Structures are given as C-alpha cells and as structure tokens.
Structure 1
Amino acid sequence: MRFLCLHGMGTNGKVFEVQTSRIRLSLGGGHEYVFVDGSVSAPAAPGVDLITSSGEEFLRFAKDDDVDSAMQLYNDLSSFIESEGPFDGVMAFSEGAGVAASLLAYQERLMAAQKSSPFRFKFGIFFCGAGAFDAESLQQGILRELDPSVDGRVITMPTAHIWTRHDQVHPGFGQKLRALCADGVAEEYLHDFGHSVPGAQGEEGVVEATRVIRRTIERATRT
C-alpha cells in the first residue's frame, strides 16, 4: 500500500515520520509512505521541540479562513498526487487529517456524480483529525467547513479514527472528523494520550492503533 502522509499544524513531514515510526514498524513491510510538507510557516506545536533539531522549520498547510491559501493548497496537492501518485490511502494527523478528509469527500462526491476525480484513494487513517473543508465550494471561491448536520456522512470509504476525548490542544478534533464518516466502515480507537499520535506513550497505544489501521486496510482491499 502507498500512503500519502500529511502532518499536523506546527510540525513538518520529518516530525510526522518520527511520530508514526512505531506504528509503521508495527504494520510491517510492504507499504510505502510519502510525507508531504505544508507550505505555510507556523509556530511550533506543543512538545515538538523534544523531537526536532535546532533551527528546524515548522509548517502548516493553509492559513486560517483564507480562501486563496486553501485554493493554493488544493491545487498544490492535486498536482503532487497527479505526479507522484497513485496513492492507496492517506495517513494524516490533526490539520493534515482535515485536509485529507476534504480530498476523500470531494473524490466521493465527484464519483457519485460520475465525474472524473483527480484522486483514487481507497481508505483514510486519521489521528485527532480536524474539520474538513468543502472542496466543491472552494472551486467557486467559497471556503466552507463540511458540517455533518448539513452534509451528512460524506466519506463512505473505509476509515480509521484514532483520537482522544481529552484533547487539550484542539478540543473537538477527532470527533468532528469522525462525524463525517459512515459508521459501517469506520474503525475507531479512543485513547488517553491527548493530542498526539500513539507511540511514545507506551506499547498499548501502538498495538491498538495498528489493529484499527490493519482492519481498515483489509476492509479497503475487499471492496
């Protein structure tokens, strides 16, 4: 499986490599992970200085409430996926997970309308995912967050949601993205490790995260 990997706000691709290293090791060989950096400078995320070197640049994918920045992000990712893809799935954390979910939702909407999609994802792996923007509205110059009470369950492909109800950094992350995904094909692991990717906190988090990821991949390969 080939994974497109999108980091969280105030980190970068190298940080996300470190954050997911134990989970990726547990998943075993046969997978390829392509880590992409955001293009917008950002303050360092809490605790990220403990796993980075001095002078490292911290990034995010788009500016808040900025339609031009979101459009640039969408165009850049579309071009990257076209040139470096295809990718079987996405693995993403926090802001990156919200971005990834935006692509998956748009892919499903285009395919449902029997229109050509620039993406061919089969599944999504989300750690403490942010809300997702509506890529269709973005094409019309409107930046709008997908709302499950309005838009419904816009992602029906297999997904894994690894998050916490005790998110002190970004309260509501994880739950918000989970609500956009269909129940019957969603795996879930709720942990007590805060706004993080399980790994450094102990073996239990790695085992449980790996379990739901494997089940998601297996479900995607059966569909």
Structure 2
Amino acid sequence: MPRPRIACFHGGGSKAAIYEIQCARLANLLSTEFQLVFFDGPYTRDAGPGVLPAFSGYEPYKSWFTTDNTGTELPDGSGYDASGRDGIERVWKLMAEHDWASDEAVGPWVGAMGFSQGTRVVGGLLLDQQRREKNGWEGRGGEGIRLRFGVCCMGAGRPMESEVGKHFDVGTDLVSVPTLHVHGLKDWVLPLSRQQYATYYDPKAKRLYEVDYHHAMPWVKEEVEQLAQHIRQIYKETL
C-alpha cells in the first residue's frame, strides 16, 4: 500500500540531500506510515548557518528566494525563469512531477515540512491552497494536490506569496490549515520563529513543540520520537 507523502523543504544555503540527512532519524521513525520527499530550491547561494563544516563538499547550496537588481528579496520566489511566475506555482509542479516520475504507485500528498527558510514555502503552499478553496478555484491547491497539515521547524519570515495572492483580492488570511511549529529554545532565530508563529498562523489551527537546543532539526532520540508522534497526531486529526 503506497504511503502518504510529506513534501520537505530545506533551509537557505542548504539543499535536499542535506535536509534528508538531517531528517534521517525522523524519516526512519515514520517509515511505515509516511514517505518523506525532499526538494531543492532553484537558486544557488553560499552555505547557510550551521551547514559548514559538517556539509562541506555538498555544493552547490540552494535557496528558495533570490533578489532583484537592487538586492531586494523577491518575496514570491520568482526569478527562476523568464515567465515571472512565482515559486509556489513551481513547487506545486515539482510535487506533481514526483507523481509522474515515480516507477511505482505513490500515496497522496498529505503534508509539507520545512526547516528555517523552508517554512516560508510550507506557509505559502498552505495559504495558496486555502485561498483557492475559499474562492472556488480548483477546489484545492495547485496541480490538484490537497495538503492536510504543515510542519514548520525553526522558521522565520512570512509565507512565500503566490500568484493567487498577487492577482486576486484574497485579504490577509492567516494560515488555517493545521500546523505544527518546532522552536529551539537556544536558537538564535527563536524571536523570529515566535514572530512567525504569532503573525501568520490561526490560533485555532496551530500547535507548538519546543526543544532545548540550537538552530537544527531535532536529533536527540526522545525529541525526535516526540516530533514523530506529533506528526502522526496532527495527520490523524485531519482524517
């Protein structure tokens, strides 16, 4: 029986192969229930915080965002080709292409998980999906995918904006799809993680899991086990 899939998005200055290693213990704990699928950002940049020296030799490092010719970040993730389309549309397509490229039957996409900058992709997907559903466009997210939950680990910043947000009057909706937020109490990003949690997510749909260390995915045995259980629970509640 194909396992439900969780799309996974690395932090800035990292890449899919690195994030897969960082999530190895979690993926193993969830291996009978979910398939974790890791994607690369479209832009090349220098190594992000905490990537070196452990992942020296993993170049090129990637990002989900780039800047315009003035050095200002493009908040929609655009700039990866000449179309001017946003990064959320690109990510939906990456997920759909995973369906087509698979040699075996695959389970449905049910969740998205991101670390640091990758949490902005997670928030963007969920917000784009709920705006489409609210306004009757496709009845679900891009490419006919419907996500049930998101996991934001050590995140910072606003959700990546989408075509829907740019071209339609959709208001300033909070993300109301169920989300789990992992914060590190010794993380230098913690104030920004708390700001992200407070600003962009619906209090009725979000939950918080705090761990007592720095800017990294949970790796201590007990904490990874608790994170896995939180993911199982949030998924169960959406069925």
* TM-score tier after normalising by the smaller chain length: 0.7 to 0.9
Unaligned runs of 5+ in 2: 68-72, 100-107
Residue in 2 aligned with 1:163? 183
SS at match of 1:120: coil
Q: Equivalent of 1:151, from 159, 172, 179? A: 172
Unaligned runs of 5+ in 1: 142-149
Residue in 2 aligned with 1:57? 60
Task: Tell whether 2:8 aligns with 1:5.
Answer: yes
Instruction: Assess if the C-alpha contact under 8 Å between 2:131 and 2:164 holds in 1.
Output: no
Deviation at 1:206, TM superposition (A): 1.2
Instruction: Assess if the C-alpha contact under 8 Å between 2:116 and 2:156 holds in 1.
Output: yes
Residue in 2 aligned with 1:144? none
- Judged with a 3 Å threshold, the aligned counterparts in structure 2 of structure 1 residues 115 and 164 are, in CA distance, closer, same or farther, namely same
Deviation at 1:178, TM superposition (A): 2.0
Identity over aligned pairs, percent: 24
Deviation at 1:207, TM superposition (A): 2.5
SS at match of 1:133: coil
How far, CA to CA, are the matches of 1:6 and 1:100 in structure 2?
A: 8
- Residue by residue over 1:23-71, the C-alpha shift from the partner in whole angstroms, topping out at 9 and shown as x without a partner, is 1222241311211101111111233234325252111111142254384
Kindly provide the amino acid, as one letter, of the partner of residue 112 in structure 1.
Answer: K
How far, CA to CA, are the matches of 1:105 and 1:190 in structure 2?
A: 24
- Residue by residue over 1:152-201, the C-alpha shift from the partner in whole angstroms, topping out at 9 and shown as x without a partner, is 5x222221111124431x353322332222233323211221211111xx
Task: Tell whether 2:213 aligns with 1:193.
Answer: yes
Q: Equivalent of 1:175, from 194, 197, 201? A: 194
Kindly provide the amino acid, as one letter, of the partner of residue 76 in structure 1.
Answer: R
Instruction: Assess if the C-alpha contact under 8 Å between 1:124 and 1:160 holds in 2.
Output: yes
- TM, length-normalised to structure 2: 0.77
Kindly provide the amino acid, as one letter, of the partner of residue 29 in structure 2.
Answer: S
Deviation at 1:72, TM superposition (A): 4.4
Residue in 2 aligned with 1:146? none
- TM, length-normalised to structure 1: 0.82
SS at match of 1:48: coil
Task: Tell whether 2:54 aligns with 1:69.
Answer: no
Deviating beyond 4 angstroms after TM superposition, the runs of 4 or more aligned structure 1 residues are: none
How far, CA to CA, are the matches of 1:89 and 1:55 in structure 2?
A: 27
Q: Which has a greater percent of helix?
A: 1
